[in-house]
Amino acid sequence: MRGWFPDREFFMRSEGQVRFITLSSKLQITAAAITAAVLFVWAVSMAVAGWTQYRATADLISLNDREAKVATAEDRVNAYRDDIGAVASDLQNRQEFIENMVSSLPADAKSVTKVSDSSGEAAATVDKVSVAIPEAAVLAKVEARQLAFVEGLTRYADWRTTRAADALRKLGLDPKAIMRGSDRQAMGGPLEKLSTNSDGTIDPRFERLGLSLARMSALEAGLAGVPQVEPASLEFISSGFGFRRDPFTGGGAMHSGLDFRGPTGTPIYAASRGRVSFVGNKSGYGKVVEIDHGNGLMTRYAHMSRFAAKLGQKVGAGDTIGAIGSTGRSTGPHLHFEVRINNRAVNPRTFLEQAPDVLKEIRRAPQLALGK
């Protein structure tokens, strides 16, 4: 190694003076090792990201291929001809799957369950089955309507997913990060295999619906946890987010939230729904309540005079969680309010000013989509 990195000497001329700088072999080897380590970590992270993207693409391609194989009219005719009893059993399983799933959908999503008679490939299947196996005509019509329902609901779920993702971006949030946060939520319990066929498999079209509904649910849950209610009146903000003069030292300091002035005892409200993750005292903050809104999003309410929430309590947007005070490092009664994403402080004003309009548009959108 020393042969590759011999001691090197450089000279620099400045204002008529010459200075010599020596780079030792040991220093060069250390710098090279650090550079190699950084490049290695970067290469591994890129490889992991690339593999994840490849797997996601490969899974989608596989799902598309399986959909294409089960969607042909000829294959369905053969299935009916081979074992009409098994087909009837499959349709019963699928109907139970649909009914159980619909019962857990949001009210506006249930409106999509009204489907018209099938067309295209499904209609062609009904015609071919009816001609080849007349006694299976009724079953073929049931199957066609089931698939029309699944296709329509999948499109609707994908539309809602796109809508939620766009709303999150307007608020400066990354939908992919929300999805990753949702995947890391605490889970457990016995495994129940989901199937829609008598042989224990799931029809790929139903699988796609399940994935679409899962994405929709994750992003909409993330959106619902966004701070959207003023914890105190915006008219009484006494200090904004960013650098300011420290009121105690007079020097420059980073202010990681918003300060709302108000009389001691003024109610403080939860900015969004979530679970109370901390109640107690913190250095500099005084009496503090923190609310976990999921997906790495947390709000902090500091300098309280009293608490009105308990650790682990579930709260809704606008619920009273405490009262304004002057505990901790404070010059007078006020609320210090923070929004943190993965423990990084962000400007709360963006959410408090934009979220109500964004969410209002979201609530209007289902009615527009359904033509109401």
C-alpha pair distances (Å), 214 with each of 160, 200, 210, 219: 11, 21, 6, 9
Listed residue (103, 205, 113) closest to 156, CA to CA: 113
More confident position, 49 or 92:
92
**Same-domain status, 205 and 174:** yes
Lowest mean pLDDT among 152-161, 181-190, 287-296: 181-190
Which of 70, 97, 119 terminates a domain? The answer is 70
d(CA 371, CA 367): 6
Amino acid, single-letter form, for residue 260? F
pLDDT score recorded for residue 140: 78
H helix intervals, 225-342: none
pLDDT value, residue 217:
84
Task: Judge if 103 and 198 occupy the same domain.
Answer: yes
pLDDT at 117: 47
Domain annotation covers residue 352: yes
Model confidence at 158: pLDDT above 50: yes
pLDDT tens profile 92-121 = 888 877 777 777 676 666 555 554 444 566
Mark whether 358 and 312 lie in a shared domain.
yes
Shared domain check, 92 and 32: no
- Inside any domain, residue 372: no
One-letter amino acid for residue 201 of the chain: T
Q: Residue 15: CB partners within 8 Å, gap ≥ 6?
A: none
Residues 100 and 217 in one domain: yes
From 22, 37, 70, give the residue that closes a domain.
70
CA 43 from centroid of its chain's CA atoms = 27
Is residue 301 pLDDT above 80, yes or no?
yes
Mean pLDDT of the chain: 75
Domain co-membership, 242 together with 349: yes
Residue 90 lies in a domain: yes
> Could you report the per-residue pLDDT of 168-223, keeping only the tens digit for each?
888 888 888 777 766 555 544 444 455 566 666 777 888 888 888 888 888 888 88
- Residue 267 has a pLDDT of 94
- Give the model confidence (pLDDT) of 340-359 as tens digits: 988 888 888 888 888 878 88
Contacts of 178 (CB under 8 A, 6+ apart): 168, 218, 219, 222, 295
Q: Are residues 268 and 200 in the same domain?
A: no
Question: How much helix, strand and coil, in percent to the nearest 5, is found in the chain?
Answer: 50, 20, 30
pLDDT in tens, 68-91: 555 566 666 677 777 788 878 888
In a domain, 76, yes or no: no
For residue 258, being part of any structural domain is answered with yes
Q: In sequence order, what DSSP letters do the residues of 9-32 get, joined into one string?
A: EEEEEETTEEEEEEE-HHHHHHHH
- Dig out the tokens for 369 from the structure: 């989509």
290 inside domain: yes
Strand-pair partners of 338: 300
CB 73 within 8 A of CB 143: no
Chosen domain end from 70, 99, 120: 70
Judgement on whether residues 127 and 219 belong to the same structural domain of the protein: yes
Residue 229 inside a domain? The answer is no
Phi–psi pair at 238, nearest 5 degrees: -105, -15
My answer on whether 219 and 339 are in the same domain is no
pLDDT digits (tens, 9 = 90+) for 7-40: 665 555 555 565 555 656 666 667 666 777 666 6
Q: Look at 281 and 155; give whichever has higher pLDDT.
A: 281
Q: Are residues 241 and 163 in the same domain?
A: no
- Does 360 fall in a domain? yes
pTM tops 0.95, yes or no: no
Give the number of domains in the chain.
Answer: 3
165 and 98 in one domain?
Answer: yes
Same domain, 23 and 66: yes
Listed in sequence order, the residues at least 6 apart from 223 whose beta carbon sits closer than 8 Å to its beta carbon are: 164, 167, 168, 359, 362
| Domain encompassing residue 330 | 234-367
